[in-house]
Amino acid sequence: MPVLDILEIRNILPHRYPMLLVDRIIELEPDRIVGIKNVTGNEPFFIGHFPDFPVMPGVLIIEAMAQVAGVLVLRKLEDRDKKLVLLASVEEAKFRKPVVPGDQLRIEMMVDKWKTSVAKMHGTATVDGVVVAEASVMCKLADKPAPKSQPEAVPAERTL
């Protein structure tokens, strides 16, 4: 059973399709989290990456890792609807094997350092127990900008 399902993840992360890259959280501890991304053939990036050999872009694997880390950072904040977790840096990223449709990414992220507004984590993404990617990411907690107000509609001129 998932610790957090997709509906609970959507209550924590602001991302939505096609950029929500976490399907469930299966383990959750104070300094460690494990998330799942089911990679399907109808992902929009497979149309062009690559048409004859679909491969999940490495930057999206890193994004999925950062989103799993973001769940760990945001989950306990009471005012999380007013916050964003921004990716501040990526270090030591390595891609070991292509991720293709039908794969299930298991993403494990562990906290290295955690301050009030910054968390540095390292993690691995595996498919069937084989490491496909690894990286260290730094996430920064920021206030969400206030929504921009919409200009008032100007009535069209009337002709007589």
Q: pLDDT tens-digit profile of 101-132? A: 999 999 999 999 999 899 999 999 999 999 99
What is the pTM for the complete model shown? 0.90
Q: Domain residues for 67?
A: 6-143
Question: Is residue 79 situated within a structural domain?
Answer: yes
Residue 49 bears catalytic tag: yes
Distance CA 63, CA 67 (A): 6
- Name the band, by pLDDT with cuts 50, 70 and 90, for residue 155: low
pLDDT tops 80 at residue 154: no
Sole residue written with tokens 């007589």: 160
Burial class (CB in 10 A: 0-12, 13-18, 19+), 21: buried
Which one from 10, 15, 24, 49 is the annotated catalytic residue? Answer: 49
Distance CA 155, CA 158 (A): 9
Lowest mean pLDDT among 74-78, 131-135, 155-159: 155-159
Question: Is residue 149 situated within a structural domain?
Answer: no
Question: Is residue 130 situated within a structural domain?
Answer: yes
Omega into 14 within 30° of 0, i.e. cis? Answer: no
Question: Is residue 152 situated within a structural domain?
Answer: no
Q: What is the CATH number of the domain that holds 111?
A: 3.10.129.10
Q: How far apart are the first and last CA of the chain?
A: 68
The total domain count for the chain is 1
Question: Is residue 55 situated within a structural domain?
Answer: yes
Question: Is residue 153 situated within a structural domain?
Answer: no
Question: Is residue 148 situated within a structural domain?
Answer: no
